[in-house]
Amino acid sequence: GLQILYEILNERDDALAERTYAPWTDMLAEMRAADVPLFSVDSHRSADRFDVLAFNLSSELVYTNVLEMIDLAGAPVHAADRTDDDLLVIVGGHAAFNPEPLADFIDAAVLGEGEEVVGEITEIIAAWKASGRHDRADVLRRLARVPGVYVPSMYEVTYGDDGLLASVAPRYADVPATVDKRAVDDLADWPYPKSPLVPLTEVVHDRLNVEVFRGCTRGCRFCQAGMITRPVRERPADQVRTMVREGLRRTGYDEVSLTSLSTADFSDIEPVVSGIIADQADLPAGCDSLTLSLPSLRVDAFTVGLAGEVNTGRRSGLTFAPEAGSWRLRTVINKLITEEDLYGAVESAFSQGWTRMKLYFLTGLPTETDDDTLGIVELARNCVTIGRKYTPRASVTVSLGGFVPKPHTPFQWFGQNGEDELRRKIGLVRDAAKKAKGVQVKWHDARASVAEGITSRGDRRVGAVIERVWRDGGLFQEWGEHFEFDRWLAALEAEHLT
C-alpha cells in the first residue's frame, strides 16, 4: 500500500511524497539527544517541510509509534493544539477502520483504498496552501466532505449514563453522518507499483510482490480483512504477467510473491503461474532461476497441478490456514474447510516434493472447547503422516494466534479470552504436540492479543490509554522485545477503564 501511494503521488505535478519510518530505539535516543527531527529517507528533508504526515496502519499495537513520530516531527501530539503552520496527520490501512482510539491525535482517517482518494486529498490541500494556508478548521471541513475521509474533530461524541457510547454525530450539516469506505472499481486501472522500491538492506519479505486480486468471497466471521476489502476484484491475467516481468527487470529480484487474501482463489491462477514460469527465459541478467511464492493459500483451492507449477527454484514452505481444530468450530466461524480438503492439499504438496508446511490456527474463538483446541494437534499429526509417505523429512509447524474480535466483523461483539485462558489453551496445544513427531508449535504472546483487543475495539477514551503507554516509554509494542503488558494494565487503571 505504501509503495502504491508513493508512486501515484510522485507521478503528480503538484505533489512530492517521501518515506519515513519510526526510528529504532537506539537511533531515536541519538536523534532526541541531538535535537534531530523526524526526516524522510529519500532526501533527508525534515518533517516540518511537508504538509502531511501519513501512516499506513496494519496493526493496532503500532499506535504508540504514531504518537512518537508526530512528536518527533515537531507537531503537537493532540490535533486540537495544532495551528495552520503544523502538518496534517492522516492515517489509513486496515488498523484505521476504527479510528476512534486515535481520534485525539489525528486530523483525518481514510477508510478503504487510497488510489483515488489520495489525489482528491492532495487537491484540497494544494488549494488550501494556494489560498495562504489559514483557517485549519476550514481545510478539515473540506476534507470531511470527501467520500471515505473521516475527520474526528467534525463529530461530537456523547456517552450514556451507563458509560457506553451513545452517539457520534456531525457538528455541521455538510459533514456526512456516515462515512463509507472507498474502493476502486477496476484493478486494471491501477497497475501499481510500476517501479517497486528495493531496500538497501536485507528485509523479511525481500521479494517482488504483485497483487492479483482484492477482497474475499469466503466470509469468515472473524476476518476483518475479508470483510472490509469486499467486493472481490481481480487483476487481468495478462497484466499480472506483465507486472511480474517488468518488476523483476526493474528490481533484480529472483523471487516473486503473488499476493491476495487467498491467492489460490484467483480464477486464472494456474495459467498465470504457468505463464510466469514460462517467462523465465526473459529473466534479467544474474537471475538464474525464479522462486514463485503463493501466500495465503486456501486448502480447498490448492491442487496437484498448482503444487507442481510452483515447485520451482528455491522451495519455501507452503502455508495453509484451517483456523480451527474441528469441523464444528470451523462451521461456527464460517471457515468451511473439511479435513479431506486439508489432507488433499497437503498430499498434493508433499507428492510434488515439498517437505514442510505451516498451518495457521486461532484459539479463543467463540464456542471453542478443549476438544476443538486439541484437534489442532490431531490435524497437524495427520498431515505429517501424509508427508512421511513421500519423505522422512516431512514436518508441520503450527502457528497459533489468539482470537481478537475485530471491528466491522460478525464477531465484533463477542468477548475475548483473557490472558490466563489463552495461555492455558496454548499450553494444551504445546503439550500435545510434544507427543507428535514432526509437529512444532509457535504461538503469539497471549498478553499482546489482549492489548490488541483493547486498542482495536476502543472508542475515543482509549486514546488516553494509548497516550499514557507512549509517555511511559511504550514504543514498538508490536515487537515482542519491547512489548510490556503491565504498561497497558496500569494505563487502563489510571483512566478508570478496567
pLDDT at 170 over 70: yes
Q: What is the pLDDT of residue 314?
A: 54
Please give the full DSSP string across 430-473, using - where no structure is assigned.
HHHHTTSTTEEEEE--HHHHHHHHHHHS--TTHHHHHHHHHHTT
The Cα 279–Cα 298 span in angstroms is 25
The model's confidence at residue 122, banded by pLDDT at 50, 70 and 90, is very high
User: Cell 476438544 identifies what position?
Assistant: 371
What is the average per-residue pLDDT within 52-73? Answer: 97
Range in 69-78, 131-140, 250-259, 313-322 with the lowest mean pLDDT: 313-322
Q: Taking the alpha carbons of 238, 231, 222, 450 in that order, is the dihedral positive or negative?
A: positive
Nearest CA to 300 out of 332, 338, 327 is that of: 338
Q: Look at strands 149-150 and 155-159 and give their pairing.
A: unpaired
Locate the DSSP E strands across 281-412.
291-293, 318-323, 356-363, 395-402
Does the pLDDT of residue 307 top 80, yes or no? no
User: Mean pLDDT over residues 24-46, rounded?
Assistant: 97
pLDDT for the residue numbered 279:
78
Average pLDDT over the chain, rounded to whole? 92
Lowest mean pLDDT among 141-150, 213-222, 457-466: 213-222
Q: What pLDDT does residue 176 have? A: 97
| Mean pLDDT along residues 430-442 | 96
C-alpha 185/C-alpha 146 separation (Å) is 17
Burial of 12 (0-12, 13-18, 19+ CB in 10 A): middle
Neighbouring residues of 392: CB distance < 8 A, sequence distance ≥ 6: none
**Which phi and psi (to 5°) does residue 146 adopt?**
-80, 125
Can you give the pLDDT at residue 96?
A: 96
pLDDT at 271: 87
Structure-block grid coordinates of residue 351: 507428492
**Structure confidence by residue, pLDDT tens digits, 344-397:** 989 988 988 889 899 999 999 999 999 999 999 999 999 999 999 999 999 999
Phi first, then psi: give them for residue 311, nearest 5 degrees: -85, 60
What pLDDT score was predicted for residue 283? 63
Q: What is the mean pLDDT of residues 444-463?
A: 95
Higher pLDDT, 311 or 423: 423
Q: Where do we find the cell 486496515?
A: 94
3-class secondary structure, 41:
coil
- Lowest mean pLDDT segment, chosen from 30-34, 282-286, 484-488: 282-286
> Between residues 274 and 109, which one has the greater pLDDT?
109
d(CA 309, CA 279): 13
Check pLDDT > 80 for residue 302. Answer: no
In this prediction, residues 213-222 reach a mean pLDDT of 91
pLDDT category of residue 487 using cuts at 50, 70 and 90: very high
Query: Percent of the chain beyond pLDDT 70?
Result: 94
Residue-wise pLDDT for 70-106, tens only, equals: 999 999 999 999 999 999 999 999 999 999 999 999 9
**Helix axes 419-433 and 370-388, enclosed angle (nearest 10):** 30
Among the ranges given (260-274, 294-308, 429-443), the one the predictor scored with the smallest mean pLDDT: 294-308
* Residue whose C-alpha cell is 492515517: 91
